Structure 1
Amino acid sequence: MQPWAALIVHGVKDIENRSWPTKFRGPVLIHAGKKYDDLAQDDVDGDIHPVTGEPLDLPDGVIYPTGGIVGVAEIYDCVRASASPWFVGDYGFLIRHARPLPFRPCRGQLGFFTPDYSPPPPPKPKAAKRVPQTDLFRE
Structure 2
Amino acid sequence: MDNLPRLALSVRQPWAWAIIHGGKVIENRSMGAIRAGRMTTGTICIHAASGMKEDEYRWAHWRLAKHGVTCPRPEDLVRSAIIGTVKVTEIITASDSEWFGGAAGLVLADPRPVGPVPASGQLGYFKWQPGGTIAPPKPWMKRFDINRGDTRTLPLFPDAEPSYKTPPAKPVRKG
User: Which residue of the other structure, out of 57, 68, 71, is the alignment partner of 2:69?
Assistant: 57
Residues 1:39 and 2:55 are matched in the alignment: yes
Structure 1 length normalisation: TM-score? 0.71
Structure 1 residue ranges, 4+ long, deviating more than 4 angstroms after superposition: none
Does the 8 Å CA contact 1:49/1:56 hold for their aligned counterparts?
Answer: no
Does the 8 Å CA contact 2:27/2:108 hold for their aligned counterparts?
Answer: yes
Alpha-carbon deviations, 1:81-106, whole Å to 9, x = none? 11121211111100000121110110
| Percent of aligned positions that are identical | 30
Aligned AA (1:76): T
Gaps of 5+ in 1: 121-139
- CA distance in 2 between counterparts of 1:42 and 1:33 reads 17
Aligned residues: 116
Residues 1:105 and 2:118 are matched in the alignment: yes
RMSD: 2.7
- CA distance in 1 between counterparts of 2:53 and 2:96 reads 23
Does the 8 Å CA contact 1:12/1:58 hold for their aligned counterparts?
Answer: no
Q: How has the CA–CA distance of structure 1 residues 34 and 85 changed in structure 2, closer, same or farther, with 3 Å as cutoff? A: same
Does the 8 Å CA contact 1:11/1:98 hold for their aligned counterparts?
Answer: no
Gaps of 5+ in 2: 1-11, 134-175
- CA distance in 2 between counterparts of 1:36 and 1:59 reads 14
Aligned counterparts, 1:3-82, within 5 A: 3-20=14-31, 21=34, 24-43=40-59, 45=61, 48-50=62-64, 54=66, 56-58=68-70, 63-82=76-95
**SS class of match (1:57):** coil
Alignment-derived partner of residue 104 in structure 2: 91
Q: How has the CA–CA distance of structure 1 residues 15 and 29 changed in structure 2, closer, same or farther, with 3 Å as cutoff? A: same
Alignment-derived partner of residue 128 in structure 2: 115
- CA distance in 2 between counterparts of 1:119 and 1:39 reads 26
